[in-house]
Structure 1
Amino acid sequence: MENRRQFIKKGMMGAAGLAIGGMGLSAKSYASIMGANERINIAVVGLNGRGQSHIQAWAGMKDVRLKTLCDVHTELFSSRAKMVSDKTGESPSTEWDMRKVFDDEDIDAVSFATPNFWHALGTIWACQAGKHVYVEKPAMHNIWEGRKMIEAARKYNRRVQVGFQNRSISNVMQAIQFLHDGGIGDVFMARGLCIKPRKSFGIAKNSEPPKTLHYDMWLGPVSWRPYNEKRDLYNWHWFWDTGSGDTGNQGPHQFDIARWGLNKQEHPVTVFSTGGIYGWRPDQCAQETPDTQISLFKYNDGKVLEFETRGRASNGEGDLGVKIGNLFYGTEGHLEIDGSTWKAFREGEKKPFAGSKTAGTSNESISLTGPTAEGHFANFIAALRSGNNDDLHCDINTGFTSTVLPLMANISYRLKRELHFMGGDVKLEKFANDPEANAMLTRAYRPPYVVPDQV
């Protein structure tokens, strides 16, 4: 007996077979398009923190079924499944091994809210299994594996959306269009800010992992090390082998807006990043990544992108008091974006001459959930139904190019010097005459969790 999906796909092909040629589609490309009224089955991989926002978004959508929840922390299953059943009346299945999720032929798309170091391999495996992907920011943990994500998406004709929600927020889209239309003249500099004070999370001795945690699968591509509770759950962000600090955590949202506003599709040619940990001593916290970091990028045409990460209490900047947002400087004025509110000022004037017409929300709200964030999820579903990558507001190539920026900055920070990137060809993606920096473009993967050369 044919299962539901086989029946639907055969029916769609039978009814539309004569029309495929006229639409300019091959049978393979046509098969990647979801029917307008067909329910899309989704699995969420990664249920802590941001994963809860994924659950809320998918469970609240019409004609979308949240079929499976997956996490290596099995203690999360009960509460997260209840979130789904409370909202939909249906109980999802649960699984700790994402590979079994990919084996499920009924699942159309996978939504990743895992730690950064799982983004690339999870996305590639999902594409190889024929699943479309929504993956959180930053798109990847290192630059080389991000390029492999693009290759997988294209090879298997899958829609892959990166979770830069600002790309689906109307006020931000209007601000960027204003910049591109010459609203403040020629934009020569963009400045991104991540002023997000955080307290020390302390230190702990290595220990046995909880019995509810599949620790080998949690580590995945990362080189083996003993379990430590201070490197689990959210704290993985602050260690180089699993995270990228706040420059690569909250920062990618504002890096993306900065690059978008500068209208740069290529990589910068130089980067210099410096800073340190100023909030505590090494015996007070195990954190490796800096809590204060300043990064400077220069493009081939001389335009500049600045980024500042401050993990200590600090003032905001500009008329809006921007703490998590962006400022742009042009030949005829400047523009500020704070969350989804923006204002533009002519040179030397204190009163804005243009700006958002509707009230905005803070970027911290945007990065969680609500109507603005759900718009980005909805855009992904719309692109699945159209079968067109161009309908995605943040295709993997866009998300990759923005994520390259904080990753470049962290390499410069760790090597303590300016680096020269061969940015003329976006697919070259190497530092000029710098084997030490180039070695940091990828990582040594731990079998069997290896990102392949050929996807």
Structure 2
Amino acid sequence: MKPNRLSRRRALASSLSFAGAAVLAGRDQRALGFAAANERPRVGAVGTGSRWCIKATGIDRPYGSAPDFRRYGDYVAICDADANRLAMASDLVKDWTGTKPKASADYRSILDDDRIDIVHISTPEHWHAKVAIEAMLAGKDVYCEKPMTLTIEEGRLMSEVCKTTGRVVQIGTQQRSSRQFIQAIALIRAGRLGEVKKATCSIGGAPTSPALPVVAPPKHFDWNLWQGPVTESEFHYLAGDYGETKSWSRGHYEFRWWYEYSGGKLTDWGAHHVDIATWGLGLTETGPISVHPVKVKHPVEFKDGYPVDHTRYNTATEFLITATFADGKEIEIRHDGDNGILFEGTEGRLFVNRGRITGKPVEDLKTNPLPAGALEEAYKNRPLTDHFRNFFEAARDQTEPISDVFSHHRALSTCHLAGIAARLDRTVHWDPKQEQVVGDPLAQSLIARDRRKGFEIEM
């Protein structure tokens, strides 16, 4: 660690302890948790789309994690392949800090900047692993929006680099810092459900699209750079009264519905709910032994795991997929039902989502509360806080954050395997120790992707 980073972290340790006093003293929102501007970590952002600002129905509005992130650190540099989004984010930073950040289309300018302590990654997931790995190797701590990776192979590599470099990496699965989810974990660990055998994750289905024509990308949008590591494709786009971007496309936001860049709902909401299910079942250090697609519906035909129609969204719209573990526990992933996670044990059931936590074990808390400190113990023996502060405190202390690379890799591997089983429409058998598909070379080939020349991960 560079001396200036060490001294700054020591200063942060003192300033964070006075967070409440700072608020009471009338400091502005930017200084929450930090006593002075030069004691705040400096942040570089790679990707400035939905987590920053979007243009919807003619109104620019702040959205997502970037406005919350600024409570604990100062953005000093930003990067995006879309010049319009880069300009909007630059204006936001100037509003927040009084100073425009260094703005560039090239994320390497952030990695090469010794002033920067933290890299905030909000790109589509096909860029996540490359940026995160190179940021760790450059000595930066990383906050990476979910899902962490596009493939299982990338998750293994991220885990190896994180362990080797010792960098602090938080994944943006913010449910891990939400009280009702932590309470669910604490109840399970206290034995209030008996032995938990199954978790059902209802994550919703993916949308379909009409056939999208090939058009020229907007001049402000570097389509080649946006594609980056994945196989090059023509730009498909159709304007319409649909979604966040008022369009169907291969680009902003809608990339989620193309296997070329994402895993659809299986890695979008699956990254959230399967993560909680894996945590609750105590399976964060292993993986399933088989993943079975009971039911899968795609909007296009597939051959050998790849879509044959490149003009339409192609991720699964309906599904029921079961992942079975060596100890007999099961995670069920489905498109229907009430969005959330249902845990089933030998002595009770518990349902939790972002709006509520219900079930007899919850009702019994009125007469049989959890012991003091049970929630904090579930939260890796730290005081409960918001997801961003948990990361900044972990970066300050050089400790593991609540949503770490290693457990997220295991949970997301289940999501990726569900996607592989869905694409092939057959059961996939998995060796969680070797992290390899058993007896199915085609399925094994889908745990990794070739990286486009010029966009390899620089190790």
TM-score normalized by the length of structure 1:
0.79
Q: Which moved more, 1:201-210 or 1:300-309?
A: 201-210
Give distance in 2, aligned partners of 1:113 and 1:11.
Answer: 28
* Other-structure match for 1:28: none
Gap change, CA 1:45 and 1:374, over 3 Å in 2: farther
Gap change, CA 1:58 and 1:224, over 3 Å in 2: same
* Other-structure match for 1:362: none
Contact 2:206–2:257 at 8 Å: present in 1 too?
no
Gap change, CA 1:222 and 1:13, over 3 Å in 2: closer
* Other-structure match for 1:368: none
Q: State the SS of the aligned residue for 2:267.
A: coil
Give distance in 1, aligned partners of 2:443 and 2:453.
Answer: 24
Q: Which moved more, 1:336-345 or 1:109-118?
A: 336-345
Counterpart AA for 1:417:
R
Question: 1:228 aligned to 2:248?
Answer: no
* Other-structure match for 2:297: 276
Contact 1:251–1:309 at 8 Å: present in 2 too?
no
* Other-structure match for 1:176: 185
* Other-structure match for 1:206: 214
Q: What does 1:307-386 correspond to in 2, within 5 Å?
A: 307-310=333-336, 316=337, 323-339=338-354, 341-345=356-360, 352-354=363-365, 375-386=386-397
Gap change, CA 1:11 and 1:331, over 3 Å in 2: closer
Q: What does 1:133-148 correspond to in 2, within 5 Å?
A: 133-148=142-157
Percent identity, please: 28
- 1:302 positional shift: 0.9
* Other-structure match for 1:22: none
Q: Please, which of 312, 327, 340 is the counterpart of residue 301 of structure 1?
A: 327
Contact 1:196–1:324 at 8 Å: present in 2 too?
no
Give distance in 2, aligned partners of 1:13 and 1:419.
Answer: 46
Q: Please, which of 436, 443, 451 is the counterpart of residue 437 of structure 1?
A: 443
- 1:352 positional shift: 3.7
Gap change, CA 1:243 and 1:151, over 3 Å in 2: same
Q: Deviations over 1:31-90 (max 9, x none)?
A: xxxx997320001111111344232012233xx211112110111122222222223333
- 1:228 positional shift: 2.0
Question: 1:100 aligned to 2:119?
Answer: no
- 1:195 positional shift: 2.6
Structure 1: tracts of 5 or more residues without a match: 16-34, 311-315, 317-322, 358-372
- 1:10 positional shift: 8.3
Q: Please, which of 150, 157, 167 is the counterpart of residue 176 of structure 2?
A: 167
Contact 1:344–1:354 at 8 Å: present in 2 too?
no
* Other-structure match for 2:303: none
Counterpart AA for 1:269:
I
Give distance in 2, aligned partners of 1:179 and 1:207.
Answer: 52
Counterpart AA for 2:189:
H
Q: Deviations over 1:346-383 (max 9, x none)?
A: 7xxxx9434899xxxxxxxxxxxxxxx98111111001
Contact 2:299–2:315 at 8 Å: present in 1 too?
no
- 1:277 positional shift: 3.6
Gap change, CA 1:95 and 1:330, over 3 Å in 2: same
Give distance in 2, aligned partners of 1:290 and 1:337.
Answer: 24
Q: Deviations over 1:148-206 (max 9, x none)?
A: 111111222211111111111122111111012111110011011113674x4433221
Question: 1:70 aligned to 2:89?
Answer: no
How many residues are treated as equivalent by the alignment? 391
* Other-structure match for 1:58: 69
Q: What does 1:92-131 correspond to in 2, within 5 Å?
A: 92-131=101-140
Counterpart AA for 1:271:
V
Counterpart AA for 2:451:
Y
Question: 1:243 aligned to 2:258?
Answer: no
Gap change, CA 1:205 and 1:374, over 3 Å in 2: farther
Give distance in 2, aligned partners of 1:415 and 1:9.
Answer: 48
Structure 2: tracts of 5 or more residues without a match: 12-33, 53-62, 238-248, 301-307, 370-383
Counterpart AA for 1:47:
T
- 1:131 positional shift: 1.0
Say what the alpha-carbon RMSD is for the aligned residues: 3.0
Gap change, CA 1:8 and 1:334, over 3 Å in 2: same
Q: Please, which of 276, 279, 283 is the counterpart of residue 260 of structure 1?
A: 279
* Other-structure match for 2:56: none
Give distance in 1, aligned partners of 2:457 and 2:360.
Answer: 47
